[in-house]
Amino acid sequence: MSRSKNLAVKYLIAAVLFFGVMTLSGLLAATYYINPEFLFGLLHFSIAKILHIDTMIIWLLMGFMGAVYWFLPDEFGREPVGIWAAEILFWVFVVAVLVVAAIFVFVQWGPGTETTLWLFQQGRKYVEAPRWAAIGVALVMLVFAWNVVGTAMQARRITGVMAVMSVNMVPLVLLYLIAFPNISNMAVDLYWWWWLVHLWVEATWEILIGCIMALAMMKLLGTSRQIVEGWLYIEVALVLGTGILGLGHHYFWIGTPDYWLGIGGFFSALEPLPLLGMVVHAIYDAGVHRMKTTNRPGFCWALAEAFGNFLGAGVFGFMITLPQLNLFAHGTQWTVSHGHFAFWGAYACGILSVCYIALQEQRRLATVDSSSWVWAFILLNGGLIGMAGSLLVAGMAQAFFERAIGGSTLEAFIAGQENPWFVISMYSRFGFGLVFAAGYLALAWNLLTLGRREAAMSIRPVVPAE
């Protein structure tokens, strides 16, 4: 197997492991809502939340990188340029993440100085990691971009998918620079911070997962390159056509001019349209191929991607995106329900699909279709939908009682948090979180053991297949 594919497997394993850390820290964060005294004085909500959201970004990034390193040698017909550097940086990346996690848990914060920002805590959401670690991440991403773009430039021919991916690398990497500065003015800070967050998860990441799913579809269904590339260009046009100015839906309330209410609301309202197209495409693929594929979990997770993206980002997003409604829902658990569902559907499902695709080739399995993957699929998706549903109820209660009625003071906040609908939802969310965690364990076990039993069994005589 090529060096790039070996590296890909390492990245996918690391991704799945950090997915586990994300799940555990999510359960921890959820615990505080039920028992606010838990670990008080030792480890507080903020640290659990930082671990939870940061490992989410890390595991998804590692998943993307794993997927790309997996497909790269087949796309270019050669080992990517600079793969040696990527191999070293993989370990740098993993160690850096572990060190940062340890700092978050054991050091947690420092005095209000630049030194703290450099060494321990930057305290900006998703990019809390200290600057020394941010430099490491930037380096990893630069080499990743070089592996893709450098190989593209050297290749005699470049495929459409690789061209889109290569061009997309540039803003993807450049946007990360926004993780570095300390901007005193909160309005300006949030203005640029949203360039990083939105233009990652609602633009460049969408293009990247679009490229990855295009490559996955060619593998899973044998779809022709011309078809997936045509579709990819449509996706890029619609996603960026709505998403670039859809960034404005984060500029309603941060001190920016009020023309953003109109611009952001309008383009954001258009964002579900391409997602509906993706759902239709998924149904077409599933139906026309009569669900026949040599890799059933890979295909089912790809379907989950299309539906989850539409439901989580499209449906849940549309409920709260118009500015006159967002005024009430902004900064409540409604946002959390949308966030969980959208990230799951748009990215997590796609990466899990790639895990199964890579697994099939790596373990040389003619087909991947035992029943064991189904447990993980049901528990993870069921758990996630349950969590998002619980958070939706909590968010609606909060928006109604704290914002719409209460006037958003401390007293109103407390009233919202103590509302019975909210309280019950916190228990329900935790319960479904446990379901999700069980799904994660089933997934990890399945990825670890898939195909190994069959391979072992094949050397024994006359054992019926499952």
Partner 1 sequence: MSPAAFLLTSLSLGVMVLAAGAYALLYGAARLKNSRSLFVLAGLAYGVLALDAAGVVLATPLALAWKLVIAASALAYLRIPPLTWGYLQRTHRDEGAHT
Partner 2 sequence: MQYEDPNFWRAGAISTTVVMAIVLVMLTIDSLDAINPGGSHVPPYTVINRHIEYAHNSKLGRDMPVIGSDEPLFGKSVTDTEAAALIEQGKLVIQSRACIDCHTFMGNGAYYAPDLTKAWLDPAWDAWIAITGAESREEAMARFLMAPEQYATWQRKMPDLGISRDEAVATVAYLKWLSSIDTNGFPIHFGRIKVSK
Closer of 155 and 279 to partner 1 (Cβ): 279
H-only helix segments in 35-184: 45-76, 83-106, 114-119, 131-154, 160-175
Site for partner 2 in 311-370 (CB under 8 A): 327-328, 330-333, 335-336
Using CB under 8 A as the binding rule, whether residue 249 contacts partner 2 is answered as no
Q: Could you say which DSSP state residue 368 is in?
A: B
Using CB under 8 A as the binding rule, whether residue 411 contacts partner 2 is answered as yes
CB of 290 to partner 1, least distance (A): 9
Tell me which of partner 1, partner 2, none is bound by residue 288, counting a contact when its beta carbon lies within the kind-specific cut-off of 5 to 8 angstroms. Answer: partner 1
Closer of 182 and 449 to partner 2 (Cβ): 182
Closer of 324 and 371 to partner 1 (Cβ): 324
Q: Which of 410, 459, 462, 465 binds partner 2 (CB under 8 A)?
A: 410
Both tokens assigned to 252: 């309603």
Q: List beta partners, residue 368.
A: 295
From the list 340, 354, 347, 344, the residue with the least C-alpha distance to 217 is 354
Note whether 353 and 305 are within 8 A (CB). Answer: yes
Note whether 337 and 392 are within 8 A (CB). Answer: yes
Using CB under 8 A as the binding rule, whether residue 280 contacts partner 1 is answered as yes
- Taking CB under 8 A as the binding criterion, the range among 9-17, 111-119, 135-143, 293-301 that sits at the site for partner 2 is 111-119
CB of 416 to partner 1, least distance (A): 12
Closer of 289 and 330 to partner 2 (Cβ): 330
User: What is the Cα–Cα distance from 255 to 296, expressed in whole angstroms?
Assistant: 49
User: What is the Cα–Cα distance from 44 to 230, expressed in whole angstroms?
Assistant: 49
- Taking CB under 8 A as the binding criterion, the range among 239-247, 298-306, 370-378, 432-440 that sits at the site for partner 2 is 239-247
Binding to partner 1 by CB under 8 A, coded x per residue (else -) over 205-244, reads ------------------xx-xx--xx-------------
Secondary structure (DSSP) of 293-353: -SBHHHHHHHHHHHHHIIIIIIIHHHHHHSHHHHHHHTTSHHHHHHHHHHHIIIIIHHHHH
Residue 84 Cα distances to 7, 79, 154, 234, 380, angstroms: 10, 10, 17, 35, 36
Helix (H/G/I), strand (E/B), else coil: 35: coil
User: What does the binding site for partner 1 look like in residue numbers (CB under 8 A)?
Assistant: 223-224, 226-227, 230-231, 262, 265-266, 269-270, 272-273, 276-277, 279-281, 283-284, 287-289, 307, 310-311, 314-316, 318-320, 322, 324-325, 328-329, 396, 399-400, 404-405
